[in-house]
Each structure stands twice: as C-alpha cells, then as structure tokens.
Amino acid sequence: MGTCLKGNMSVLSLVLFLLSVQQFWAQEDPLLPFSEHLDLEHNVQLKWGFDKIQGTILFQLSVNTSGWISFGLSPNGGMTGADIVIGGVDNKGTYFTDRHALGNSMPVVDQKQNYKLLSLSESDGKTVMKFQRSIESCDENDLPVTILPMKLIYAYGETDDISYHKAQRGTKEVNLLKYMPRASLSNATYFDITMENFMLPANQTYYHCKTARAPTFDSKQHIYRIEPVITNYDLVHHLLLYRCPPTVTEPLELECYTKTERCMETIAVWGVGGGDFEFPEVAGLPIGGNVGDFFYRLEVHYNNVNKTAGRVDSSGLRFYYTSKLRQHDAGILMTGLAVIPSYAIPPKAKSFLTYGMCDTTYIPKVLETANDLQVFSVMMHTHLAGRKVRVGHFREGKQIDLLAVDENYNFEFQQVTNLGKTKTVKLGDKLLVECTYNTENRNTLTQGGLSTSDEMCLAFLFYYPAMNLSGCESLPHFSSLVSEMGAGDTGTWLYMMNTMAWNDSSINEYQQTLKKINQTVIVVNSFNKASITNGTIPDLKVSPPEPCVRACATKNLAFMSLFLCLAVCGS
C-alpha cells in the first residue's frame, strides 16, 4: 500500500510539474514580447508589442483588482494633457472608453474613440485589458507614441465605481518603440573577446581577425546581453563574432580574408553608432555544455580615414551570461546580397536598387533538422552610399509582410533593433533584402566588397530556436549578367561597365537587368556545407500604414456617431 501510494504521489508530482511548465511556457505571446511592472509592488503589469509597418501598437494591462483600471500616455507624468483609457468588468458586462484629462479630475470621453478593445476579463481578483491603437496620434486629444522615452501613467479602483483612485496610481518612464529589456541578475558574470594591443597599419580600410577559444563551461550557459568594448570610436566601423566549426583547433591572428575563412556562423554583431543589445526573456545565445568547446573568430573592420600608422586598438565585445537557461537557444542568420565583387553600382545614381534573396526552402538541404524561424530583432547594414534598407517577406509566391524597414538609413548609426513583435518565417518562405543607394557624388563604379567605399546589402536576423546556419544569400548569376548585357566575356563586360555613359536611362536599364536575370541562391551551414541553386527576384511592394484605429461603440457616443461607426464596421 505504501509503495503504491508513493508511486502514485510521484506520478502526481510529475503531472503537476509538467502542467506548471506548460502553463509557464504558454504565457509567451509573440505579439506582446515586452513587459514592465509599472509599480514597485508588482500589482500593475504592462505588456506590449508593435508593428511599425502597419503603424499599430498593442497593449495588455493586468492589474490585481476587481474594479476599474486605467492606462495613459502623459506629456509630463501627471493627469493634465494625458491620453487615457479606462475599462473594467461590471455586472452588465465590459466597459471601455478612450478619454483625455484636462486636469486632476475625471477624464473626458473623446469624441473619436481611437483605441480598439480586443479583450477584457476579470478573474480571481485580476483584471486584464488588451487593446490596440495607432502609433501616430489620430486627433487632438491623442498623444503619438514616439521613439523617445514616454511617461506612462496608471490608476485603478477596488470597485467599478470610477471615482478618485487615492494612492492606487503611478507613473513610469518607458521607451515603448525602442525598448531594450534589462535582466536584473545579481552577481552578473561576463567574459570579453577583444583584440589585444593591435597596432593598425596605415590602410584606410583594414579587417583584422583573431581566432581564439572562448571560456569553457562545464554546463550550458545562455548569453543574455552583449556590449561593445571600443577603445577607438573613430577607427572601429563594425565588429562581428563567428563561431568556428570543430575542425578549427588552433588560435590565429591575421588580416581577414587573406586565406579561406572557415568560421562563418555569426554569433554577435555591432555597428558604428550602436549600443548594448539584450536578448528577450525567452531566448539566449548558447555557450558551453553540449554546445561544445568551439573556437571563435573576432572580426574588426577598421576605417582609418587619415591612414595613420601606429594606432593601437583593443576593441571587442563583452558577453554577459547566466546558468539560468531560457526557453530557446537564439541564433543570428546573415541574409542579403553576397559580398562578392561580381556586381557594381553605377555612378551618378539618385536611387539605385540592389537585391539579395534568402530562400528558406533550401535550409533542409544543409541541415538534418530544420525548423521555422521566430525572428525578433534585425540589424541592417550597408556602407556610405546606402540610403534605405527593406526586408520583404514572401510566402507561396506572394508578399505577406515587410519584415523590417529603414527608410532613413544612416551609416553612422547602425544598431540592432527590435521588430516590436516576433515574426514567423516558415520553411519555404523567401526573404528579400532591398537596398537603395545614392552615388550622385561618385564618378566611378562602386563595387560590392569589404572596403567602406565599396558596398554591402545585408540584414542580420536574430531568431529562435537556433539552427547551425551561417548564411542565406544570393547574387546575380554572373554569366547571365554578362550575356544579357551583350558582352562575350568578363573582360568585355568590365570594359563596358567602366566606359558606359551613365545617365538616368542607362542606370535604370542596368538596374532592371540585375533584377530580372537568374540569381545564384546560396545557403550555408555552420560547417560550410552549402546548397547552391538558382532563383528569381520577386517584386517588393511597400504599403502605407493602416489608418487610425477606430473603436466602433461606446455607450458615451452620440446615437448618430454610433450608427455611422457600426455601418462602417459592418461593411
């Protein structure tokens, strides 16, 4: 009897544990990746996510109360001028209104209801309200959500009688659109991978590489934060850290790309103007344990404009890690136009487009186990001529989204940015990286290459769960390009390109040729096994953001407004 009871208790404990794990993981919502407690007692929690392409932001406010709850954007942290929503669940059902505050009094209901209620529930002493609005302001009573830190206010009551909140209110400043999570771990531990007193040559562009073993760990750890360690901001253009395959077993330091590079799986990336990067709470970069005792290659791109000799540099990256593992291993995938000098950007171009395509159909060709990518952040990269970068997302031949967009790309400010929500890239989807360049001040061709005066068109995708992938890129099929332009061989093509009378007509014709010819599509795994196929560039469309979000009905709207809104929503 005792043994049986003990066995049953063990089974029950296991079931309860699995249920608790299932409940824990179920809390992850890809549309609400960011979270902050707005009060010190953790009674008020705000979750949110956004879609800059669609121009919308989604909120979920959870408050430990069975009464009314409210949330607002305030210009100064107080009531006056604040853009506020109030909602709750009473004995008649749910109520929800978009309001604005004229002072320290009951907020006035807006004529235009620009917040859309998605769900509102009350259970076990907690009220949860999910709602959506436009990022931009839609009328004079709304405040726009900006890229700067904003003052968020909240208040709540113990009943559904909306009256004075007493001490149940507060303010917290949060950057909603450029949020960077900060893990609050005691005794933070980190390691550095840097150059050590490297003396630069008198070259304007120089790539230096250092291959070394990372610290060893008995068990698997997760890297959750990456910080740049820069000793010469005027010299360091970007940093990349690659994980090497097991065949690399010796340290090495030399100029990059002077021999065949075997370490090509991107682990970390930093660009000029960027700052720290912290992974979302559900993912971390794996190191140690079953990840293996790998070597890593640090690549530093030095842009020594004055060609000064003898400058010493010890720049690199700092990695914060924890043994408290997160749900997923994260990875970074390099996509875009392969960095090979087999294409060129003509001079005198106001707006010249290049394309690089990642066809995820071929990922299973280089991996035994492949899975969909849950993309949460991206870093886009060109050099001096870059003006815009867009990443289109295609499924079954149709564009379904713009994964990321930078309509005002700045070479001096390159940063990993959160997408605002986790986006799923299914196996079989295509990703198209489109870059726009301006070469009006140049008189010669701009080659694809490593130099700052050359060009690149790349998007580094941060995703989970990690796969052993290093790159998914494309480039124009060179022999097709030579043939399409009427050149018999490479020499003739180079002569044509260098002697061409470049004007709007010839630039446009060349751009269209690059796009319509076959592309060489390349997918490479961490061990340099490659799949090389042909593909074509799809058409990328950019749609304007959705108009202002409108909520159809509130009991405070006039009858005619209600009638018109219902008519519009029902059509």
CA 365 vs. chain centroid, Å, equals 26
Q: Is 381 known to be catalytic?
A: yes
Residue of 115, 179, 206, 207 marked active site: 207
pLDDT in tens, 278-310: 999 899 999 987 666 789 999 999 999 999 999
pLDDT in tens, 441-479: 999 999 998 888 899 999 999 999 999 999 999 999 999
Residue of 208, 237, 381, 383 marked active site: 381
Q: Is the CB of residue 358 less than 8 Å from the CB of residue 430?
A: yes
Tokens representing 98? 């978009």
Long-range CB contacts (within 8 A, 24+) of 27-33: 28/282, 28/327, 30/374, 30/421, 30/422, 30/423, 30/424, 31/58, 31/421, 31/422, 32/58, 32/60, 32/421, 33/280, 33/282, 33/376, 33/418, 33/420, 33/421, 33/422
Tokens representing 562? 């209600």
pLDDT the model gives residue 546: 62
Position 354 pLDDT exceeds 90:
yes
Q: Is 207 known to be catalytic?
A: yes
pLDDT in tens, 12-44: 444 444 334 333 333 468 899 999 999 988 999
The single-letter DSSP state of residue 361 is: G
What pTM was computed for the model?
Answer: 0.79
Tokens representing 323? 């043994």
Could you give phi then psi for residue 266, rounded to 5 degrees? Answer: -65, 130
Q: Which of 223, 177, 172 is nearest to 36 (CA)?
A: 172
pLDDT in tens, 517-554: 999 999 999 888 999 999 999 999 987 666 676 554 33
Position 260 pLDDT exceeds 50:
yes
pLDDT the model gives residue 566: 37
Residue 518, judged by CB atoms within 10 A of its CB (0-12, 13-18, 19+), counts as middle
Hey, which residues does 356 pair with through a beta bridge? 433
Weakest-pLDDT range from 39-48, 147-156, 553-562 = 553-562
